[in-house]
Chains A and B, each alone.
Chain A
Amino acid sequence: MRKFLRLITVPLLLLGLVANAQTRTIKGQVVSATDGKAVAGATISVNGSKVSAITSEDGSFAVNVSGTVTLSVKSVGFSAKTVSVAGDQNTVKVSLTEESSQLNEIVVTGYTAQKRKEITGAVSVVSVKDMKSVPSGTAEQMLQGQASGVTIIGSGSPGEPSNVFVRGITSFGNSTPLVIVDGVQSAPGDLSSFRDLAASDIESIQVLKDGQAAIYGARGSAGVIIVTTRRGRGKASITYESFAGIQTPRTGNVWNKLDPQGMAELYFLAAKNSGAVDANGNVSSPQYGTGKTPVLPNYIRYGTASGYNGAVDLTKYNNNYSKGDIFLIVPANKKGTDWWDVMFDPAGMQSHTITATGGQDKSSYLFSLNYFDQKGTLLNTFLKRYSARINTTYNVKNNIRLGENLYIFYKQNPRIGNNQEGNAVNNTAWEQPIIPVFDAGGGFGGTSGAGLGNSSNPYANQMRQKDNQNHEWVIQGNVFAEVDFAKHFTAKTVFGGNLGNYHGFYHNYRSYENAENGSSNGYGQYGGYNNNYNWTNTLNYSNVFKENHSVKLMAGYEVLKVSGRQVGGSRVNYFSDNPDYLSLNTGSPIGQNNYSDYYKTTGNSILAKVDYAFKDKYLVGLNGRRDGSSVFGPENRYGNFWSASAGWVVSQEDFFKNVKFINTLKLRGSYGILGSISNVGALNQYTLYGGSGGSSYYDLFGTSNSTVMGFYATNLGNTKTGWEKDKILDIGFDATVLNNKLDITFDWYKKTVEGLLFQDQAPAVVGVGSQLPQVNIGDMQNTGIDLGLSYRGKVNNDLSYTVGVNIGAYKSEVVNIPGAAGFFETAYTHNTGPQVRNAEGHPVGSFFGYKIAGIFQSAADVAAWPTMPDAAPGRFKYEDVNKDGKINDADRTFFGNPNPDFTAGINLNVTYKRWDVSTVLYGSFGNEILNETRYFQDFYPQFQNAKSIPLLTESWLPTRTNTKYPIVENNSYFSTNGVINDFYVEDGTYMRIKQLSVGYTIDPVKLKKYGIDKARVYLQGANLFTLTNYSGLDPEIPGSSTSFGVDWGNYPPSRTFNIGVSLTF
């Protein structure tokens, strides 16, 4: 103890001495040894004192010193350098040698930061510059392809949440990674605090992928995305960044739809094939007349008549329910309506950011304002976001720092139900081309006539929703204080959270034009908030003993809380549809509806971490965490998680000194036990009772309009449910080769989930209307590799380039599933039942059903095949998988895997003089897609909606037998589309140019007179090309963790062209 006291007393005395000496100011500049360019943000510290400075944009700095001093100069990406400055020297120029590799980059690895070369775990360090080059409204989309082992599946819908999986899917529930922005944890399974970050505010992103994420314990198993936002430094400056451009949707017959004449012929073909012909061989159709061939009508609806060719009295037209019976007059669009073109139009996109930053040794600040506005190419979809950030730090004393990060945004983001049956994208496929957008009376055209299918006019739907609004205000951020004391200790406390508020309202209009119309108008309003906070206290100790033993210790304590409330109501039968008139109290009290709910979960944890390094050669890390959570019963409330890791920097060994082609090499391995609770609800441990008007009240008195309160067991609890154990073994290496030009990071991993939290799969006799609890059943395993390559090339002083490649590959296997069945099914459709079976021994999300062996060509063919329901010539024959001579449920089998063999991202940057070119490519290889849209498009019985061309031109006929398309018939059968079969499976491999831009940096000298320090202008294209064999709109198909790669109608990304500018003042 006494020794320790002495240790800290000495520098204090020195400080006192220094303060008494005569001072002068040294001015200097820091430049890069490579190109002589100024190095901004470099730290200059005066050895033996606490004096330090940071270089500004032009590399200049000033420090007050006295006498002869030694300056230490450090900057990210450069080797540290010390220079001696004589007592009479007042200027100095320091040139720093660029670090040839990224090994000195500071990486946040959970509560602490490390140099990259000290890391023993598997961490993907994202190139934020490349990431930001992708013009998108969501940070998830920008991250795609930037981190090996991180799979991101999105869509073209502005602001749409993407699926994010780190090293594949590791849960049957929520498999979303934990997000930490400036030390603030997201609510479990919630990426929203990441999604809406303004891109320009992001300083760095790291993804923890292996067992070391155990420092986040019960929340780390699905990976951890750690985001740090920018802080001010250097000279005060203002930056304006902006881009604007246009997104262009696909054009042409994207669904390969038949025209009206083709649809009419198809109707006759189906009727003939189904035997729906009269004695004379005539087909009769409500639209196309009676006869041998169809005739397109003049009107598809005239009052109650369909297929009308008579005289028209426009005065009879009425589409207003309040004015009497509906009388529609809908002309046939014989040329055909291109519904895709009606719904999708080129759309603008713009982003503007102003950032003011500055920092001295006492304080630093960053203010930024961002406006992001992306119109969707689909009518009335958009993302509009206003955001502001204030990040500040104050060095109260030399050893005390206070600061805060505050981010506020407001957004509006109307979207469609993406990838869901019956959404606006679907309806562009379903709505028949003979239907006009508008009818003869100026109302909407639709499917209300006979034989026009059941879809709804997507234009009418989207126009009616244009007055719906949803507003979100979110505040996220933290305040922190840090104290350095006793030389080696730092205590830190951080309190932060996310506070989200939303409210909105919607209108339902009474439609008249569709086959299935709503029965009343309506208006509803809702609002609520979602809250989460964490308070983290850590104590760090860092010391080097006897020069060679570096020890870092961290211990901490954390509390978490997640809560929220919402309330809403609606009424129907409003007197007027005028949006200005509508509020809840102006609607009819008959049919009014209201609801509210709230939730709260809490957690607390203690955590500790040790990092030890011997001579920077042998590295060992240990961490552990004890988590408590309110979602578990008292018996299993606490769980322990830990990890151990080790690294060996081979290149530091003497025997390695002679190896020339490898500059650095580090072998590393880690093993950890982590958990996940994101699937466990707040009520999981309780057996509870409740009820609601709809689910358990009953009209005992026969009143017809009122009910008596009733209850039932809503939740069957399980107090024994406990923590899931996710074991991750990771072995990898980091190397720099080829004269420090190529960095390689490679990891092999095995991720085993034991006691997977999943809803119990008890048979229905227990009463499945009562929610069954999540229990620890099921095991899952992913094995895979992540590979990151980064190459820096320099042809000459004018031309240099970098190439980054990220590859992630994994094999998913469900090892064990709850209950006796060994599987559970998901992705139900009301047409064919479940499409996906998660089963032991198979990859998660596997497609399951009958395998088509061909098409029955004749009655003899049918007779020769195993017995099969509804077998007939022209229909599918299914494989008799179990060879028992009959085709039944036992013959269903696995026929597709939506997990890719690997995904790859490629970043390429070329700089030539003042020109720069960059591109981001992303690809997914070897995954399969279940193209459910073909169920509606490629089979006639699925309503008489619009159909695809091959149905008419390629479907089976006795005279046309060499085809994949079965006979066109009026009915669905077991042997056509009555059950799920592999007709819909397609290769989902694709490669996309996500971004390609060309930029030019204007000579700063010429800008001086305008007060501009730096200016860059660029032209950019996004989603320029997608190489794929997939027949649907786009091969990137989002979903849930147990059913993904099923295409229900996905909003495709649009080709985008932007012009951008970046100015620094």
Chain B
Amino acid sequence: MKKYNFKHIMPAVLSSLVILYACDKSYLEVPAAGALSQDVLANKIGVEALLVGAYSLLDGEGSSAGTNNGPWATSSSNWVYGSVAGGDAHKGSDPGDQNLITPIERWNATPSNSYLDQLWQQRFDGVQRSNEALRVLKLAKDISAADVTRITAEARFLRGHYHFELAKNFGNIPYIDESITYAAGNYLVPNGPALAKIEADFAYAYANLPETMSSVGRANKWAAAAYLAKVYMFEKKFSEARALFTAIIANGKTSLGVKYDLVAKFGDVFDIPKKNSAEHVFSVQMTVNDGTGAANANSGDALNFPYGGQTGCCGFFQPSFSLANAFQVDANGLPFLDNSFFNKPIKSDMGISADKPYTPDSTTPMDPRVDWTVGRRGVPYLDWGIMPGSTWVRDQASAGPYEPLKHLFRKSQVGVYTDGSSWTNGFTANNYPLIRFADVLLLAAEAEVNGGGTLAQAMAYVNRVRTRASNPAGFVGPANNAGDVSPTNYKIGLYTSFPDATYAMTAIRMERKLELAMEGHRFYDLTRWGTAIAKAELDAYAAAEVKQGYNTMVGAVYTANKSEYLPIPQTQIDKSQKDGKSVLTQNPGY
């Protein structure tokens, strides 16, 4: 018995241990759960899906960025960096809410402001998703040459877009092509001007993309052309821009083959069911009720809805006094190009509680686009009825009396174009038009003035935009809601002459302000036009706002050779050190 124990059990136990151990090497081979490896995607379907993944970051979301300010920091509409910083709007809401926006609004953001880091992260994520499609494309064997070219062109278009977004905001950026990867360890790329490389991406896309695409959301040849021409404008390559714009205006068409044109009514540009029209050169596609809890809606703008009404939360992005005032017109229906509007406030309900009587101004002549851009008390607000004043404003005393309009949804669209599965109604399917045809026409007008064209042609482009705005069928009024009548005295005229280049440029700048207000373009336009123009306008803006009661701008000054660009995020500088020195150079002035 004992003999048995020792002689047999011991070796049995020991050898079983050894056998178990030896067998178990495969035990440690656990395949990855719920994910795909690269070889599964290295084919046509896989690469096309990676390309869709690159498109999907256009909406400013979907990147798990390392800071948690919310999607508003990365909104595709650039409402913070383009419109609020550009003087179109106040941050809005309560002063303490999202107060990291305030320094951006006051042009003195510090490099550690985490809004900037989040923006940087999201846009570079888009760059790398575009690059990933290019990288895996090279591994795929089953894709036709034509598709290889098309996919390359789409990916480069998107890469150009994401880089351009970074360049507009930060100026000097590292340009990241498909050779830069985490695995290769070659990611410490110095920053500098990147427009030339961005231009090359769009030029490739323009040269290689088909005119019509399989779906409306894809970039086509003409979207690339418009983007390329826009980059030329930033590079001050005006004659190249002029030539290209001429071609676009003559021959450009949407991805579905519809010739570019302005839609008949100004308000229809922003009406959700009318998205992807002839005017929408390239838009970010937004969806609702797609089973994702509103993750593909315009979340970046979800805060920007009147407060206290039925449109959701949170009362951000309130149009500025100066923007509303700029819509005043002279006897000819033309705007005040001498900037006198800054100090000529229109009547508003600032300081007047909603339960106190208020009669809106019905005599001052105003550009009809005002009521599609600035929600004012006493004026119909889409089909939501007459804007009631302070009850729709979160904190009128600190943020002003106006409400935004362009990205809103109509009452009749609730549940169809809005998503109720998240915390606010302000998740809509309203696309953000990155480039629309009116933008193209006005840039073309600038190219005419500066790129060897004629002032007459420039004026014609501007007047084409104004003609559409003057269509009485498109004025705010009964069309919105039965019985609603706008009290505003609408008046809009056409320019009859551009006597010189200076006048022409002043008129064009004003036209861009009015036509593209609240669409995230203004600050970048001002930077593009030069520091002198930017400083003059924004300092005047700050002073005018303070005078009318917006004391957030007290002491705010645009600093030449600094405020043109946001600072490079400090975290990124810190993470990019090589040999004790960062490869990223901070922008001047910070």
Residues of A within 8 A of B58 (CB): 698
Residue on A nearest B66 in the bound complex, by CB? A768
Q: Would you call B570 an interface residue if the criterion is a C-beta within 8 Å of the partner chain's C-beta atoms? A: yes
Give complex CA distance A278, B293 in Å: 45
Residues of B within 8 A of A700 (CB): 52, 55, 214-218, 285
User: Do A602 and B21 touch across chains, with their CB atoms under 8 A apart?
Assistant: no
User: Do A489 and B10 touch across chains, with their CB atoms under 8 A apart?
Assistant: yes
- Among A305, A697, A870, A888, the residue within 8 A (CB) of B555 is A870
Q: Name B111-127 residues within 8 Å CB distance of A.
A: 111-114, 117, 120-122, 124-125, 127
Q: Would you call B505 an interface residue if the criterion is a C-beta within 8 Å of the partner chain's C-beta atoms? A: no
Q: Would you call B209 an interface residue if the criterion is a C-beta within 8 Å of the partner chain's C-beta atoms? A: no
User: Do B17 and A557 touch across chains, with their CB atoms under 8 A apart?
Assistant: yes
Residue on B nearest A557 in the bound complex, by CB? B17
Q: Would you call A281 an interface residue if the criterion is a C-beta within 8 Å of the partner chain's C-beta atoms? A: no
Q: Would you call A882 an interface residue if the criterion is a C-beta within 8 Å of the partner chain's C-beta atoms? A: no
Residues of B within 8 A of A978 (CB): 99-100, 102-103
Give complex CA distance A701, B255 in Å: 11
Supposing A682-B30, A701-B216, A705-B290 touch, asked if A833 and B187 sit within 8 A by C-beta, the answer is no
User: Do A716 and B112 touch across chains, with their CB atoms under 8 A apart?
Assistant: no
- Among A539, A591, A702, the residue within 8 A (CB) of B421 is A591
Residues of B within 8 A of A606 (CB): 17, 21
Residue on B nearest A693 in the bound complex, by CB? B292
Supposing A693-B292, A970-B398 touch, asked if A603 and B286 sit within 8 A by C-beta, the answer is no
Q: Please choose the segment from B231-239, B261-269, B389-397, B478-486 that sits at the chain A interface, where 4 or more of its residues have CB less than 8 A away.
A: B389-397
B-facing mask of A936-949, CB < 8 A → 1, else 0? Answer: 00011111100000
User: Do A704 and B272 touch across chains, with their CB atoms under 8 A apart?
Assistant: yes
User: Do A5 and B3 touch across chains, with their CB atoms under 8 A apart?
Assistant: yes
Give complex CA distance A682, B33 in Å: 8
Please give 4 more A-B residue pairs, beta carbons under 8 A apart, in addition to A491-B9, A597-B33: A537-B13, A537-B16, A702-B285, A768-B64
Residue among A305, A306, A491, A704 having the largest count of chain B Cβ atoms under 10 Å: A704
Interface of A is mostly: loop
- Among B55, B69, B70, B312, the residue within 8 A (CB) of A710 is B55
User: Do A307 and B353 touch across chains, with their CB atoms under 8 A apart?
Assistant: yes
User: Do A598 and B388 touch across chains, with their CB atoms under 8 A apart?
Assistant: no
User: Do B5 and A485 touch across chains, with their CB atoms under 8 A apart?
Assistant: yes
Q: Name A443-485 residues within 8 Å CB distance of B.
A: 448, 450-451, 453-454, 483, 485
Give complex CA distance A971, B98 in Å: 11
Interface of B is mostly: loop
Give complex CA distance A711, B112 in Å: 32
Within the complex, the shortest CB–CB distance from A686 to chain B, in Å, comes to: 5
Residue on A nearest B13 in the bound complex, by CB? A491
Residues of B within 8 A of A892 (CB): 112
A-facing mask of B413-436, CB < 8 A → 1, else 0? Answer: 001011111111100010100000
User: Do A699 and B287 touch across chains, with their CB atoms under 8 A apart?
Assistant: yes
A-facing mask of B367-401, CB < 8 A → 1, else 0? Answer: 00000000000000000000010110111111000
Q: How large is the interface on A (under 10, 10 to 19, 20 to 34, 35 or more residues)?
A: 35 or more
Residues of A within 8 A of B554 (CB): 275
User: Do A537 and B275 touch across chains, with their CB atoms under 8 A apart?
Assistant: no
Q: Please choose the segment from A198-206, A778-786, A817-825, A984-992 that sits at the chain B interface, where 4 or more of its residues have CB less than 8 A away.
A: A817-825
Within the complex, the shortest CB–CB distance from B216 to chain A, in Å, comes to: 4
Within the complex, the shortest CB–CB distance from B345 to chain A, in Å, comes to: 15
Residue on B nearest A973 in the bound complex, by CB? B102
Q: Would you call A690 an interface residue if the criterion is a C-beta within 8 Å of the partner chain's C-beta atoms? A: yes
User: Do B286 and A943 touch across chains, with their CB atoms under 8 A apart?
Assistant: no
- Among B37, B188, B217, B287, the residue within 8 A (CB) of A689 is B37
Q: Would you call A298 an interface residue if the criterion is a C-beta within 8 Å of the partner chain's C-beta atoms? A: no
Q: Would you call A637 an interface residue if the criterion is a C-beta within 8 Å of the partner chain's C-beta atoms? A: yes
User: Do A771 and B64 touch across chains, with their CB atoms under 8 A apart?
Assistant: yes
- Among B13, B24, B68, the residue within 8 A (CB) of A828 is B68
User: Do A766 and B97 touch across chains, with their CB atoms under 8 A apart?
Assistant: no
Residues of B within 8 A of A765 (CB): 124, 127-128, 174, 176, 180, 187, 189
Within the complex, the shortest CB–CB distance from B330 to chain A, in Å, comes to: 30
User: Do B291 and A450 touch across chains, with their CB atoms under 8 A apart?
Assistant: no
- Among A306, A557, A888, the residue within 8 A (CB) of B391 is A306
Residues of B within 8 A of A830 (CB): 68-70, 98, 100
User: Do A603 and B396 touch across chains, with their CB atoms under 8 A apart?
Assistant: no
Supposing A698-B285, A941-B99 touch, asked if A707 and B35 sit within 8 A by C-beta, the answer is no
Number of A-B contacts (CB under 8 A): 430
Give complex CA distance A671, B51 in Å: 54
Q: Would you call B527 an interface residue if the criterion is a C-beta within 8 Å of the partner chain's C-beta atoms? A: no
Residue among B122, B182, B393, B418 having the largest count of chain A Cβ atoms under 10 Å: B182
Residue on A nearest B110 in the bound complex, by CB? A889
Residues of A within 8 A of B102 (CB): 971-973, 978
Q: Please choose the segment from B79-87, B446-454, B458-466, B574-582 that sits at the chain A interface, where 4 or more of its residues have CB less than 8 A away.
A: B574-582
* 14 pairs from A and B in contact (CB 8 Å cutoff): A9-B2, A271-B397, A307-B353, A450-B308, A491-B13, A591-B293, A604-B21, A688-B36, A689-B35, A690-B36, A698-B59, A716-B182, A764-B575, A767-B124
Residues of A within 8 A of B67 (CB): 828, 833
Give complex CA distance A498, B554 in Å: 62
B-facing mask of A678-709, CB < 8 A → 1, else 0? Answer: 00001100111111111111111111111111
What residues make up the interface of A, taking CB atoms closer than 8 Å to B?
A: 4-5, 8-9, 12, 271, 274-276, 278, 284-286, 290, 304-308, 325, 448, 450-451, 453-454, 483, 485-486, 489, 491, 515-520, 522, 537, 539, 555-557, 559, 570, 572-573, 590-594, 597-604, 606, 628-630, 637, 682-683, 686-716, 760-772, 819-823, 825, 828, 830-834, 869-870, 872, 888-889, 892, 939-944, 970-974, 977-979
Q: Would you call B94 an interface residue if the criterion is a C-beta within 8 Å of the partner chain's C-beta atoms? A: yes
Give complex CA distance A820, B577 in Å: 5
Supposing A284-B397, A520-B421, A707-B296 touch, asked if A767 and B125 sit within 8 A by C-beta, the answer is yes
Give complex CA distance A1023, B114 in Å: 40
Residue on A nearest B36 in the bound complex, by CB? A689
Residues of B within 8 A of A712 (CB): 50, 53-54, 56, 129, 132
Give complex CA distance A628, B555 in Å: 63
User: Do A687 and B55 touch across chains, with their CB atoms under 8 A apart?
Assistant: no
User: Do A711 and B187 touch across chains, with their CB atoms under 8 A apart?
Assistant: no
User: Do B182 and A767 touch across chains, with their CB atoms under 8 A apart?
Assistant: yes
Within the complex, the shortest CB–CB distance from A888 to chain B, in Å, comes to: 6
User: Do A974 and B390 touch across chains, with their CB atoms under 8 A apart?
Assistant: no
**Considering only CB atoms and an 8 Å cut-off, how many residues of chain B contact the other chain?**
152
Q: Name B275-333 residues within 8 Å CB distance of A.
A: 275-276, 285-293, 295-296, 307-308, 310, 312-314
Supposing A700-B285, A820-B574 touch, asked if A711 and B295 sit within 8 A by C-beta, the answer is no
User: Do A713 and B132 touch across chains, with their CB atoms under 8 A apart?
Assistant: yes
Supposing A557-B20, A702-B285, A821-B575 touch, asked if A486 and B6 sit within 8 A by C-beta, the answer is yes
Residue on B nearest A275 in the bound complex, by CB? B551
Residues of A within 8 A of B551 (CB): 274-276, 970-971
Residues of A within 8 A of B70 (CB): 830
Q: Would you call B257 an interface residue if the criterion is a C-beta within 8 Å of the partner chain's C-beta atoms? A: no
Q: Would you call B358 an interface residue if the criterion is a C-beta within 8 Å of the partner chain's C-beta atoms? A: no
Residue on A nearest B99 in the bound complex, by CB? A972
- Among B52, B108, B110, B574, the residue within 8 A (CB) of A821 is B574
Q: Name B219-270 residues within 8 Å CB distance of A.
A: none
User: Do B415 and A5 touch across chains, with their CB atoms under 8 A apart?
Assistant: no
User: Do A764 and B13 touch across chains, with their CB atoms under 8 A apart?
Assistant: no
Residues of A within 8 A of B355 (CB): 305, 308
User: Do A557 and B21 touch across chains, with their CB atoms under 8 A apart?
Assistant: yes
User: Do B28 and A629 touch across chains, with their CB atoms under 8 A apart?
Assistant: yes
User: Do A711 and B41 touch across chains, with their CB atoms under 8 A apart?
Assistant: yes
User: Do B96 and A942 touch across chains, with their CB atoms under 8 A apart?
Assistant: yes
Residues of A within 8 A of B351 (CB): 278, 284, 290
User: Do B38 and A689 touch across chains, with their CB atoms under 8 A apart?
Assistant: yes
User: Do A704 and B286 touch across chains, with their CB atoms under 8 A apart?
Assistant: yes
Residues of B within 8 A of A517 (CB): 313
Residues of A within 8 A of B555 (CB): 870, 872
Within the complex, the shortest CB–CB distance from A633 to chain B, in Å, comes to: 11
Residues of B within 8 A of A603 (CB): 28
- Among B41, B69, B181, B423, the residue within 8 A (CB) of A766 is B181
